[in-house]
Amino acid sequence: MDDYAKMTVKELRPLVRKKGWTGAEVLNAKKDELVRYLETGEKPGADNINNQHIQCEPDMEKRRPPKVYFPVTDILTAPDWAMLRPESRRIALDIAYMAWAEIDGMIADDDWRIAQRLDIPEEKWLEYRKILERSGWLIQDNGRLTNEIIKREFDTAQKHYMAAIVSGRKGGKASAANKQATLKPSSRPPTGRVE
């Protein structure tokens, strides 16, 4: 058995992926979490009994809409996309995917974390960031990074989601009112024989 504690995070990630733990969680996992997974098979998360993290449901307004479409055609025909080189496009798509996985369609403006998630040196990320910002692909919004197309899709989906919530509330109130109306005693005489 390997001595996982002596390995670096970069060395641990491929081993973890081979064992079956994939996705963005692996990129955000700490070294001790990766080592624990390799040794015990236990992922950090809400399913583990010893988990010390508390997962909370966000407010309805902050919750990710259930359906947000990834507008591939819009992205591929966007003028800011056309001026990017293939390696910059790969980074742009990775950033778009990261934003898509977030609740609000934006990622934190933290260069170190983004570089780690892209698995490239921070200096290289800063070069790509400059290219993406100049082309107009990457925009800042309230200290977070996103793309205009992704922001538009998330805003639209959020608007539809909130409209559905409001409609659901109206429907629920109407249903409750109808139920109350049917429970009121009737003024009609009872049917059937009276003995």
Q: By CB neighbour count within 10 A (0-12 exposed, 13-18 middle, 19+ buried), where does 125 fall?
A: buried
Nearest to 95 by CA among 78, 111, 73: 111
CA within 13 Å, CB half, 89: 13
The pLDDT, as a whole number, for residue 130 is 93
**What's the pTM value of the predicted model, to 2 decimals?**
0.50
Query: Which CATH code for domain 56-181?
Result: 1.10.10.10
Q: By CB neighbour count within 10 A (0-12 exposed, 13-18 middle, 19+ buried), where does 89 fall?
A: middle
The pLDDT, as a whole number, for residue 58 is 45
Nearest to 105 by CA among 69, 54, 57: 69
Which DSSP category does 20 fall into? T
The pLDDT, as a whole number, for residue 111 is 92
The pLDDT, as a whole number, for residue 118 is 92
Tell me what the pLDDT averaged over the chain comes to: 76
The pLDDT, as a whole number, for residue 62 is 53
The tokens of 113 are what? Answer: 């974390």
The pLDDT, as a whole number, for residue 173 is 67
The tokens of 116 are what? Answer: 């780690």
Which residues in the chain are classed under CATH 1.10.10.10? 56-181
Residues of the chain with pLDDT under 70: 1-2, 45-70, 169-195
Which DSSP category does 145 fall into? E
The pLDDT, as a whole number, for residue 178 is 67
CA distance 159 to 166: 11
CA distance 102 to 20: 22
Q: By the 8 A CB rule, do 99 and 107 touch? A: yes
Chain length of the chain:
195
CA distance 174 to 185: 19
